[in-house]
Structure 1
Amino acid sequence: MGSFMLYALVKLISIAGIRTFFNRISSQNLDQIPKEGAVIFVCNHPNTMMDPLIVGSTCGRNLYFFAKSTIFNNFFTRWILNRLRVIPVYRKQDDPTQTNKNIDTFYKGYEILESGESFLIFPEGTSTGDRTLGKIKTGAARIGFGAIENNNWKLNISLVPVGLSYSNAVKFRSDVIVRYGKPIDLKSYQKEYEANKVNAVQQLTEQIETALSKLTTNVNDLAFEKIVNALELIYKKELMVDLGLDIENKTDDFSATKGLVHAVEWYCKNRPEEVEEFEVMLDRYQNRLDLLKLKDEFLDPASGSTTMAQRIRVISYIILGFPVYVYGLINNAIPYKFPRWYAKNFVHDKSVIAPTKLITGMGIFIIFYSIQIFLFAFFSGNTPLTIFYIFTLVPSGNFVLSYIHQVRNYRQHLRFLSIFYRKRIIMYELIEERQTLIQYLNNAKKAYMKIEKINPI
């Protein structure tokens, strides 16, 4: 009972933490997940600790988690992790002499499945923090088949692939898409497994890899990542409108990004000289944007011009909201800035930046808020006023983020106008460069869709 209560408490705190850290978590195909019975969730692993928190908070099941043994490095963490249903996996790259302990790990997996419960495993075996899908290991398939074999193929086990796609894996208030794939019934492999166990394991592992590839916006080569990121920034909205997709719909957004990834990979393979030409144009355009400290969105004709009414609303918001901004800044600046400062100066692995920010942020906010509330209560001596003060802390912090976003956007707008009137020739050249890029991409899109026989919506 104590372990379950600890698990439930940590799960609630984790859900609150990730829903604060991320702007939007979009879960798709939740109806694919079996509501009961043994389930193995297999997921790509771009963001270390964030990944299990996100899957655990969206899948609707109480999970066990398979994790590398190196995090069980002392008595305290072992005690905590055991009660949070985390099971150690002994990887060869960590310590080759410890891999024999995986026998116990496999048996624990069998027990979980035999009791009709679920676990999450990351078949890549490591988290790199980039946009590629690593080599899929056979552990999930071997545990699943082992459990069924031990029960004479009478045990029903579903394997559900999960794809995680981050708009920015390390940035506070970024977006995440969680896509659940169609469950794989392990019993469907009975003939193959009984004929040749090794081949059956390999076939299932390949099916997992194919499913994860379809459920994510990963690239096959890191060399493509820069181009895909640029296309998402410059071209994706125009592409979605052209194809009749809804810009606000996350499923359509995923489809557009997936299409961009496929197109980039096709061009890199079949027309590398055109990719090189585009990269030269793209670098020149982005370098000029950086030099002028401008964002691409301000050169996009689709964004439209700012009306006088819009300017009045923004200016009024900035002026009237300033006192609330100052109040929120005083109460939230230190705990908000500290996690970013700490991660920037002490964390060098991209895949652990986000969880470091989350953990340090939760810790520093709890400590800082506690001190503030104590001091306010002590000096005010007014309980109702203190309660009111407590309820203003988080909303005022959120207002600060919104206020800063509005100020930065308006400042960027003013900078754009200033440069446009002072350096009109340069701005016209930049707009022309953007139009050339867009036209180049439109021509490439038409050629690609014609060759691949893709019909627009």
Structure 2
Amino acid sequence: MRPFYLLLKISLNISFRLFYKRFLVLNSHKEFFGSTIYVSNHPNSFMDPIMIGSMNRPIVHFMTRSDVFVWWLKPTLWAAHMLPIYRQQDGTDTKGKNSDVFKKVNQSLKMGRNILIFGEGFTDDTPIRGLKPVKKGPVRMGFGALESINWSKKIYISGIGISYTDRNTIGSEFVLNNGPKICLNDYKEAYQENPNRVINEVTKRVEKDMQNCIVYVANPKRYSLLENIMQITRKGYNHPNHDDSIPLLKRFEYSRELALWINANVTDESTEILALQKDLDAYFNLEKRMKVQDRFVVAKKHPELINTLNNWLYLILMWPFAIVGFIHGFIPYIIAKKVTEKIMRRKVFWGSVKMMLGKLIGSIYNIPIIIFLTKWYLPHWSLGVLYYFMVPVLWRLSYEYAHQFMEIRLKSKMKNVDLSKFEEKRADLEKRIQELIPVA
């Protein structure tokens, strides 16, 4: 493991704990090294590889789009365990260039290292609760490595599933779920007899494992049905509308079970459920147009959702830390936000780029501040170093402070809004869900 990779693994692990409110890593493989090709879904662009690299136990080498390997970044990318993969749109001789890369992959797997590749190939602009067809490349790569070493070492392949409640929002949640390892050596005789058939078979097996690791809806037409049912029941894997007292694992499992029921039972002939889906879409679209958050509609049943006591307590108790965090973090946050939203046209990149850019700018911006404080106010330089590493925590407190202030304003405003029509419609939808969907 290269030192820069280790530094990123430790520091990004801390960053994720500040960015996300809750997270789970399920079924993590215990070995740091294991000659395994990890194949992941790709719901969140840059966030996915750095999350797997920092939160999962195994140490990986990343297969990365070749167009990011500009000359001045190559040393950093090499230090971060990244290998280029060339696509047809990347210019001439992609086959020859990939051949050289695959030789490095074969050598890495032979030496016990792990490879991470994203089987879907790209990230959708609109979040989905599904999985696009997994490409054959990772499996082909594994068997190619075995052939290159004459099947002398065991090489494995394993699916990974990443699920976000909201991929770009600070304070959201995620689950990183690891599938079982598949030993490719077990297919030796079948592969030597018919390589294409075995590659297809193993790819389908990996794809099925990946589906089992996420909240998976097979038909894209049913994405909104799942999402809206989760919002109405408040038991599912939705960020703005969920019951925070339910553990994340239970919400994740509930959502997977609900998705499986939809896959098995909802067809184009399911008239009552399709009518329900249409009405759910209309209800939440109306809320969006009227700028009404669904938590205020259910506030009569759950008055804690509009209670401001906890918000006020946070403001009263945390203001000194929030001011300090504001001084250290506001300017880096604003610069990272403005630059990212200007240069990144696709919003799917915003969360990861803002986090990484804010981390970089904040690290540089705060060095002279810490040096000044250490020289004039702190008794020893070690306290300055400790303070420097506390800055991200203080910034997160200041961010939350601003959020609590806005929450008080919003709750006060919504107390005077008549939501009776929404309440009636929501009650009807909830009743229909309970009648039609037994697992809801």
Match in the other structure for 1:359: 356
Contact persistence 1:15–1:53 (CA under 8 A): no
Contact persistence 2:18–2:393 (CA under 8 A): no
- Aligned-pair CA distance for 1:432: 0.9
Decide which of 61, 66, 71 is 1:69's aligned counterpart: 66
Contact persistence 2:5–2:80 (CA under 8 A): yes
Secondary structure, in 3 states, of the residue corresponding to 1:67? strand
What is the distance in 2 between the residues matched to 1:391 and 1:118? 31
Secondary structure, in 3 states, of the residue corresponding to 1:190? helix
- Aligned-pair CA distance for 1:412: 3.6
Q: Confirm whether residue 413 of structure 1 aligns to residue 411 of structure 2.
A: yes
Contact persistence 1:294–1:412 (CA under 8 A): no
Secondary structure, in 3 states, of the residue corresponding to 2:62? strand
Contact persistence 1:329–1:400 (CA under 8 A): yes
Decide which of 96, 104, 110 is 1:114's aligned counterpart: 110
Match in the other structure for 1:157: 155
Contact persistence 1:167–1:176 (CA under 8 A): yes
What is the distance in 2 between the residues matched to 1:107 and 1:238? 44
Match in the other structure for 1:230: 228
Q: What's the CA shift string for 1:133-161, capped at 9, x where partnerless?
A: 22322221122112223333331122121
In the alignment, structure 2 segments of 5+ residues that lack a partner are none
Match in the other structure for 1:126: 122
- Aligned-pair CA distance for 1:445: 0.4
Contact persistence 2:46–2:349 (CA under 8 A): yes
Contact persistence 1:68–1:88 (CA under 8 A): yes
Q: Confirm whether residue 441 of structure 1 aligns to residue 433 of structure 2.
A: yes
In the alignment, structure 1 segments of 5+ residues that lack a partner are 450-455
What is the distance in 2 between the residues matched to 1:149 and 1:438? 57
Q: Confirm whether residue 382 of structure 1 aligns to residue 377 of structure 2.
A: yes
Decide which of 75, 80, 84 is 2:76's aligned counterpart: 80
The structure having more radius of gyration, on CA atoms, is 1
- Taking the TM superposition and a 5 Å limit, the aligned residue runs for 1:50-69 are 50-69=47-66
Contact persistence 1:18–1:53 (CA under 8 A): no
Letter paired with 2:395: G
Secondary structure, in 3 states, of the residue corresponding to 1:183? strand
Match in the other structure for 1:105: 101
Decide whether aligned partners of structure 1 residues 439 and 79 sit closer, same or farther in structure 2, where only a CA change above 3 A counts: same
Match in the other structure for 2:173: 175
What is the distance in 1 between the residues matched to 2:195 and 2:91? 27
Q: Confirm whether residue 28 of structure 1 aligns to residue 30 of structure 2.
A: no
Q: Which moves more between the two structures, 207-216 or 346-355?
A: 346-355
Decide whether aligned partners of structure 1 residues 194 and 408 sit closer, same or farther in structure 2, where only a CA change above 3 A counts: same
Secondary structure, in 3 states, of the residue corresponding to 2:8? helix
Q: What's the CA shift string for 1:377-432, capped at 9, x where partnerless?
A: 68xx333499497577444323223333433444343333222xxx3xxx222211
Q: Which moves more between the two structures, 270-279 or 112-121?
A: 270-279
Decide whether aligned partners of structure 1 residues 246 and 15 sit closer, same or farther in structure 2, where only a CA change above 3 A counts: closer
Match in the other structure for 2:340: 343
Decide whether aligned partners of structure 1 residues 431 and 238 sit closer, same or farther in structure 2, where only a CA change above 3 A counts: farther
Contact persistence 1:66–1:88 (CA under 8 A): yes
What is the distance in 2 between the residues matched to 1:194 and 1:391? 55
Match in the other structure for 1:453: none
What is the distance in 2 between the residues matched to 1:150 and 1:238? 46
Decide whether aligned partners of structure 1 residues 413 and 106 sit closer, same or farther in structure 2, where only a CA change above 3 A counts: same
Decide whether aligned partners of structure 1 residues 11 and 300 sit closer, same or farther in structure 2, where only a CA change above 3 A counts: same
Q: What's the CA shift string for 1:355-381, capped at 9, x where partnerless?
A: 211221112212332343356568xx3
Match in the other structure for 1:452: none
- Aligned-pair CA distance for 1:280: 4.0
Percent identity, please.
24
Q: What's the CA shift string for 1:116-137, capped at 9, x where partnerless?
A: 2211111222233532422322
What is the distance in 2 between the residues matched to 1:93 and 1:277? 43
- RMSD across aligned C-alpha pairs, in angstroms? 3.3
Instruction: Name the structure with the higher helix share.
Output: 1
- Aligned-pair CA distance for 1:316: 4.5
